[in-house]
């Protein structure tokens, strides 16, 4: 038989093949990474290749057209249906070898392609989801050979895809017979981990999706992802409905302990919310719920346990024993999620009683364990999960910041949403504010601001807005380094007014009238002190300063590092090296969705992270108290000082007179 030589690029794999072998078959035999869902039937178009050269035999002069089979009717039909091909492009399953060939597999035809991430320091994600689609043609039943529909499906998967001994649970089996018949004995199976069928679709199906969920104490964020491309098709969020049972985690644990059926209520609330987000995301993206074939979950330990239906009671008091810390796989339907019948929820591992799957999500997303740089990563939510270290050693702690950074427990606070004030500037002389709201690029006071915000309104102040407001009030001398709103200023400006025994600052005359109260400053002080003290604890334990700081969380993504440092939320660091990572926990959940190796990686890394328990560290309380001041009494902040002329020390009360620090200003970055 005539044999021809074929080289695949970019892998460089090469071999000899009999005349008439398809390029897909040749790629498979060589182990070349060439995708296919339909199994070589010219339907899915995933095996597109570029026949780059006609020949590489020494004396060959033939055109490539002679060395590959002619353009086929199947390819013509595919192109007419899906759009045109670049010149030289072929369907790998249709083009057959007729002579020596060089075949290039473009990135989009590789199974394990990489997803480009936004920030330079992020490591790329290789797409290799745990669930893959395989189309099969199943033998019809025959009374003279009475094997079951499932056995014939198993045989088809083994013969056509090399998937041996596939299993399916009852929920999938229930759909088997109708799906086989609806598809005319052709079905597409979503196969998990190479052996378990989690969904069946009649005929040919090319789209499978995953859903990554980050369950925070205050908010739930989730992402609908295309498992083939890694693209986020919908990004959705909601308040955690458990808030009605208690704002912070411990009050929810108390609720669960004190109320009969309380655990079940809390679990139902969070599961219903996740399921509602699935509904919202699939609706937005126009996909069916049963096309979601895998779910990943991150969350702090209490949320992790409640979402899984585990009792959080032990997490309410020392020694804060988790029920389980390893990664969990449970059926989505057992969590009441309406997705593909056999879909699995993969919950990332937890580290300890206060450092959960949200922290491991952040670690997976930011991968501090891969580099030499000493990184401080804080995921700021209702609790702050703080990770510090590098490839040699990683430490983690959790600090109870409370929900203030998320706009809760702040009199004018709200979740980051259109209409919320997110940026604040206060004139050092006049003490008049300017601000920006989410959804509008203009500053208040700019011409056209009122018109531009007609539809939005100004609805409240979100976390980053509160931070900037209080930092600016401090820089403008309205708030002292002890965090007191200076009532003496009420003589000079109507922006400062008495409220009860204390004073407040009028950020917006309204409507709505938005005031920064003394209690709001206290809430932010407590929150930032907790965050700072937690970070400091890890830094002291490690005995080295952070080389890079990353603020994660929906809130962390918005905050200006200068203000965070001015307020004393974070330790001193080169401001160029302070960055925000957005919802890194959610990103970790997405990575676990798209790459199976990432799961093994975070499971391994999680076991190596050293937990520092703030609750029993003797130094935490003193660090916390010291961190209450603005910025902080514990650090020199040389990096911050280069950008901000910090106010002069507070005048002694008996000096009287004006105490505004006019010198305070922010230098250009």
Q: Binding residue for its own copies (CB under 8 A) from 348, 352, 438, 507?
A: 352
Alpha-carbon distance of 118 to 111, in angstroms, equals 21
Tokens of 123: 């490591």
User: What is the closest distance, in whole angstroms, from the C-beta atom of residue 342 to its own copies in the complex?
Assistant: 12
328 binds its own copies (CB under 8 A): yes
Using the minimum distance from each CB to its own copies, give the nearer residue, 2 or 317: 317
334 binds its own copies (CB under 8 A): yes
Stretch touching its own copies by CB under 8 A, among 310-318, 364-372, 410-418, 539-547: 310-318
Q: Binding residue for its own copies (CB under 8 A) from 76, 148, 619, 665?
A: 148
Alpha-carbon distance of 329 to 382, in angstroms, equals 26
258 binds its own copies (CB under 8 A): no
Alpha-carbon separation of residue 623 from 378, 529, 620, 632 (angstroms): 17, 8, 5, 10
Q: What angle do CA 274, 275, 278 make, to 5 degrees?
A: 90
User: What is the closest distance, in whole angstroms, from the C-beta atom of residue 22 to its own copies in the complex?
Assistant: 33
Alpha-carbon separation of residue 549 from 7, 167, 564, 619 (angstroms): 47, 46, 11, 22
318 binds its own copies (CB under 8 A): yes
Which residue carries 């709505």 as its tokens?
A: 512
- 198: closest CA among 212, 206, 188? 188
Tokens of 70: 């002619």
Q: Binding residue for its own copies (CB under 8 A) from 80, 142, 429, 655?
A: 142
176 binds its own copies (CB under 8 A): yes
Q: Binding residue for its own copies (CB under 8 A) from 320, 346, 449, 503?
A: 320
The residues facing 505 across adjacent strands are 496, 516
Stretch touching its own copies by CB under 8 A, among 26-34, 172-180, 464-472, 498-506: 172-180
Do residues 403 and 217 lie in contact, with contact meaning Cβ atoms separated by under 8 Å?
Answer: yes
Do residues 593 and 227 lie in contact, with contact meaning Cβ atoms separated by under 8 Å?
Answer: yes
Site for its own copies in 272-301 (CB under 8 A): none
Which residue carries 């910090």 as its tokens?
A: 646
Alpha-carbon distance of 620 to 434, in angstroms, equals 37
Tokens of 489: 């200023």
616 binds its own copies (CB under 8 A): yes
310 binds its own copies (CB under 8 A): yes
Strands (E), 268-419: 292-299, 328-331, 344-347, 375-380, 384-389, 394-399
Q: Binding residue for its own copies (CB under 8 A) from 311, 338, 547, 645?
A: 311
User: What is the closest distance, in whole angstroms, from the C-beta atom of residue 395 to its own copies in the complex?
Assistant: 13
- 647: closest CA among 636, 658, 631, 633? 631
Stretch touching its own copies by CB under 8 A, among 46-54, 69-77, 322-330, 651-659: 322-330
Alpha-carbon distance of 572 to 581, in angstroms, equals 18
According to DSSP H, which parts of 1-110 are helical? 23-30, 64-67, 73-82
Using the minimum distance from each CB to its own copies, give the nearer residue, 232 or 330: 330
Alpha-carbon distance of 438 to 459, in angstroms, equals 10
Do residues 238 and 229 lie in contact, with contact meaning Cβ atoms separated by under 8 Å?
Answer: no
Q: Binding residue for its own copies (CB under 8 A) from 190, 236, 322, 357?
A: 322
Which residue carries 């999706």 as its tokens?
A: 209
Using the minimum distance from each CB to its own copies, give the nearer residue, 226 or 325: 325
User: What is the closest distance, in whole angstroms, from the C-beta atom of residue 173 to its own copies in the complex?
Assistant: 6
Stretch touching its own copies by CB under 8 A, among 62-70, 212-220, 347-355, 578-586: 347-355
621 binds its own copies (CB under 8 A): no
User: What is the closest distance, in whole angstroms, from the C-beta atom of residue 259 to its own copies in the complex?
Assistant: 17
Site for its own copies in 354-413 (CB under 8 A): none
313 binds its own copies (CB under 8 A): yes
Judged by CB under 8 A, the number of residues near its own copies is: 43
Q: Binding residue for its own copies (CB under 8 A) from 351, 359, 485, 566?
A: 351
Alpha-carbon distance of 83 to 76, in angstroms, equals 10
Which chain residues interact with its own copies by CB under 8 A?
A: 141-144, 146-151, 169-170, 173-174, 176-178, 308-311, 313-314, 318-326, 328, 330, 334, 350-353, 611, 613, 615-616
């Amino acid at each position: 038989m005539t044999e021809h030589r074929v080289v695949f690029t970019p892998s460089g794999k090469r071999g000899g093949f009999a005349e008439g072998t398809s390029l897909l078959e040749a790629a498979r035999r060589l182990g070349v990474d060439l995708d296919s869902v339909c199994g070589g039937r010219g339907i899915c178009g995933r095996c597109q290749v570029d026949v780059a050269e006609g020949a590489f035999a020494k004396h060959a002069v033939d055109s490539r057209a002679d060395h590959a089979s002619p353009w086929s009717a199947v390819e013509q039909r595919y192109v007419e249906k899906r759009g045109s091909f670049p010149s030289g492009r072929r369907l790998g399953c249709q083009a057959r070898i007729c002579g020596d060939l060089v075949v290039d597999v473009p990135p989009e035809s590789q199974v394990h392609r990489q997803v480009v991430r936004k920030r330079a320091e992020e490591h790329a994600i290789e797409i290799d989801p745990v669930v893959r689609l395989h189309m099969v043609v199943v033998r019809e039943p025959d009374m003279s050979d009475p094997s079951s529909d499932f056995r014939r499906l198993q045989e088809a998967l083994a013969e056509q895809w090399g998937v041996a001994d596939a299993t399916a649970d009852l929920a999938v089996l229930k759909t088997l017979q109708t799906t086989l018949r609806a598809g005319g004995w052709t079905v597409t199976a979503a196969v998990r981990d190479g052996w378990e069928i989690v969904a069946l679709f009649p005929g040919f199906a090319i789209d499978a999706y995953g859903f990554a969920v980050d369950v925070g104490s205050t908010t739930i964020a989730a992402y609908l992802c295309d498992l083939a491309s890694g693209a986020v098709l919908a990004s959705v969020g909601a308040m955690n409905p458990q808030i009605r049972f208690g704002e912070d985690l411990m009050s929810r644990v108390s609720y669960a302990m004190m109320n009969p059926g309380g655990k079940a209520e809390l679990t139902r609330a969070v599961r219903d919310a996740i399921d509602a987000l699935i509904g919202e995301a699939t609706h937005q993206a126009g996909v069916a719920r049963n096309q979601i074939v895998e779910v990943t979950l991150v969350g702090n330990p209490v949320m992790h346990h409640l979402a899984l239906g585990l009792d959080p009671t032990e997490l309410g008091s020392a020694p804060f024993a988790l029920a389980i810390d390893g990664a969990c796989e449970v059926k989505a339907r057992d969590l009441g999620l309406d997705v593909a019948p056999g879909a699995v929820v993969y919950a990332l591992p937890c580290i300890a009683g206060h450092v959960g799957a949200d922290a491991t999500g952040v670690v997976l997303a930011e991968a501090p364990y891969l580099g030499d740089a000493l990184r401080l990563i804080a995921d700021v939510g209702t609790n702050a999960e703080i990770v510090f270290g590098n490839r040699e050693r990683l430490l983690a702690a959790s600090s109870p910041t409370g929900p203030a950074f998320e706009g809760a427990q702040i009199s004018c606070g709200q979740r980051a949403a259109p209409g919320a004030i997110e940026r604040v500037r206060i004139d050092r002389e006049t003490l008049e504010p300017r601000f920006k709201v989410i959804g509008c690029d203009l500053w208040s006071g700019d011409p056209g601001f009122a018109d531009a915000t007609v539809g939005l309104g100004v609805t409240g102040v979100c976390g980053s807005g509160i931070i900037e407001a209080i930092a600016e009030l401090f820089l403008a001398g309205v708030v002292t380094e002890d965090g007191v709103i200076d009532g003496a200023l009420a003589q000079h400006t109507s922006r400062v007014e008495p409220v009860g025994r204390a004073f407040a600052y009028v950020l917006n005359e309204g409507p709505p009238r938005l005031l920064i109260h003394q209690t709001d400053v206290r809430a932010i002080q407590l929150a930032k002190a907790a965050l700072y003290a937690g970070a400091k604890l890890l830094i002291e334990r490690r005995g080295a300063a952070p080389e890079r700081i990353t603020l994660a969380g929906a809130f962390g993504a918005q905050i200006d590092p200068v203000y965070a440092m001015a307020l004393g939320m974070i330790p001193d660091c080169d401001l160029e090296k302070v960055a925000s990572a957005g919802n890194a926990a959610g990103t970790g959940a997405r990575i676990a969705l798209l790459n199976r190796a990432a799961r093994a990686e975070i499971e391994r890394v999680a076991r190596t992270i050293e937990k520092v328990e703030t609750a029993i560290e003797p130094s935490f309380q003193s660090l916390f108290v010291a961190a209450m001041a603005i910025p902080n009494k514990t650090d020199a902040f040389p990096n911050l000082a280069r950008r901000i002329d910090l106010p002069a020390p507070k005048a002694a009360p008996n000096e009287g007179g004006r105490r505004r620090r006019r010198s305070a200003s922010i230098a250009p970055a």
